Structure 1
Amino acid sequence: MAEHWLLLDIGNTHTVAGLFQPDRHRVAEVRFRTDPQCTADEYRMQLRQLFSDALGRNVWEMADRAIVSTVVPALEATVAKACDAVPLLSINARLRRDFELDLPHPEQLGADRLCNVAGALSLVGAPMLIVDAGTATTFCLVDDRQAYVGGAIVPGLDTSWRALQARAAKLFSVELTRPDNAVGNTTELQIQSGVLQGYEALIEGMADRLLRDAGFGQATLIATGGCTRLIRLSDRFRMEPDLTLLGLFRYGQLNG
């Protein structure tokens, strides 16, 4: 029977879980809201139920190992206990990888960003700029040595939108649907334009500044993250929604 790897990308807002075979074949993928108060038993049962709905089988009878990236410290021990039936690999800067960390404090780099770089390098060559649009939007620069040299972090689209609602009493809640025209002629359209098209401009403009200041002549631009479903970036960005899972998979290959 083929081996299966359970890959867990635990973000601040959502968790993406994928069941992969070692030839990179994705068997199933599920997504659910991250709950830092979740117990190990609840976490184990949630994964069992979601994968049962997707596959009709108990994921804990299929998984041979678990590979985890989390940016939620409160869940690290919980997830480790939930996955105690299988060998667990937790992503950190000390593991074997395909790239260097040209940073003064490499241990500070988040596990999700480590996975994004690993995933991107499994798809294309360096140099590259990786944008992950989630609770925070992160930018990662990898030079032609395959060395991560830095980047930037800005508040995510949904984070900024919620902050605006909380601080601006006269703005009402609207559905975040992207208007095709940046010029809104109603308050609702102006909010949609400012939040969504404004965020597109932020990503495009920040990408230009980072590439310029890093001295990159040419680079592959890759975008991932849940908020990319709401915005429209230029054709120079390669969209890779499963990038973090691919990075988890690559770490699993290198750290068997």
Structure 2
Amino acid sequence: MTGSWLLLDIGNTHTVAGLFSADGARHVQVRFRTDPGCTSDEYRMLLRQLFADAAEGNLWDFIERALLSTVVPALEPVVARACGDIPFHSINAHMTREFELALPFPEQLGADRLANVAGALTLAEPALLIVDAGTATTFCLVDARRAYIGGAIVPGLDTSWRALQARAAKLFAVELVRPDNTVGNTTETQIRSGVLHGYEAMIEGMADRLLRDAGLENATLVATGGCINLIRLSPRFRLEPDLTLKGLHRYGQLNG
């Protein structure tokens, strides 16, 4: 475990953390709820506890460097302080990368999307369409020039589901288990069908429209994010649960 890299992808709802070797081999990965109110001491203790079995000792004795992708800006200084003297990098649009940002305001692109593009380019040649199904569902398009040209942002599965519960007085919470059939015959099965099958249809339909409008019909489709285990996408999607962490690792290699 000596010389491991700590990779952190902090989302609005959950955080995924992984220990990788310098050559990209994954040792262990954990997932926990994002807490914007966490202090640096609490964060340091939490990570040490979560990785206790893998590190076989004090985690912080094994970490060589740390790389962060976050959509929660308040946690960036917290994590930096938690890492102490360990070399720390927070992904941004100004770092060395292997793709162009063909955007009018490249600094607005989220760190998670930067990492996703970097990760996808280690797996397949462009053109690419990358879907990240989380609190928000993001679509990223990379053309054959290795240029990020744009995409779309849609409310995520859980976000949409919670909004439906909050706004529809006669609907109630059900366990989100994917039904095999779209035709529900009870309120529960109709909610499950609408939320889960509807979400799948949204991703498939948005992918078609984005590829058509960008002229990238032959692009490779890659899907990641915390919600991909709840849904079933067509076989044209390559499922990569570790995509963001792989992208963080690639940023680390390019920004030594």
Asked whether the two chains share a fold, i.e. TM above 0.5, the reply is: yes
How far is the alpha carbon of 1:56 from its aligned partner? 3.1
1:131 and 1:140 in contact (8 A); partners too: yes
Q: How does the TM-score come out when normalised to structure 1?
A: 0.98
Task: Provide the residue aligned with 2:198 in structure 1.
Answer: 198
Q: Structure 1 residues 49-58 or 108-117, which shifts more?
A: 49-58
For residues 66-215 of structure 1, the aligned pairs below 5 Å read 66-215=66-215
Question: Does structure 1 residue 216 correspond to structure 2 residue 220?
Answer: no
Give the distance between the partners of 1:17 and 1:217, measured in 2 at CA: 34
Give the distance between the partners of 1:137 and 1:210, measured in 2 at CA: 14
Task: Provide the residue aligned with 1:4 in structure 2.
Answer: 4
2:8 and 2:15 in contact (8 A); partners too: yes
Is the alpha carbon distance of 1:54 and 1:192 closer, same or farther for their aligned partners in structure 2, counting shifts above 3 Å?
Answer: farther
Task: Provide the residue aligned with 1:57 in structure 2.
Answer: 57
C-alpha distance after superposition, 1:175-216 (max 9, x if no partner):
000000000011100000000000000000000000000011
Question: Does structure 1 residue 254 correspond to structure 2 residue 247?
Answer: no
2:2 and 2:63 in contact (8 A); partners too: no
How far is the alpha carbon of 1:28 from its aligned partner? 1.0
Q: Sequence identity, in percent?
A: 75
Task: Provide the residue aligned with 1:20 in structure 2.
Answer: 20
How far is the alpha carbon of 1:58 from its aligned partner? 1.9
Question: Does structure 1 residue 46 correspond to structure 2 residue 31?
Answer: no
Give the distance between the partners of 1:217 and 1:191, measured in 2 at CA: 33
How far is the alpha carbon of 1:53 from its aligned partner? 3.8
1:101 and 1:148 in contact (8 A); partners too: yes
2:11 and 2:72 in contact (8 A); partners too: yes
Q: Which amino acid aligns with 1:122?
A: T
Give the distance between the partners of 1:26 and 1:248, measured in 2 at CA: 12
1:28 and 1:55 in contact (8 A); partners too: no
C-alpha distance after superposition, 1:17-51 (max 9, x if no partner):
10000111111111110000000000000000000
Number of aligned residue pairs: 256
The alignment yields a C-alpha RMSD, in angstroms, of 0.9
Give the distance between the partners of 2:99 and 2:3, measured in 1 at CA: 27
How far is the alpha carbon of 1:172 from its aligned partner? 1.1
Unaligned runs of 5+ in 1: none
Give the distance between the partners of 1:27 and 1:126, measured in 2 at CA: 28
Q: Which amino acid aligns with 1:140?
A: C
Q: Structure 1 residues 81-90 or 154-163, which shifts more?
A: 81-90
Unaligned runs of 5+ in 2: none
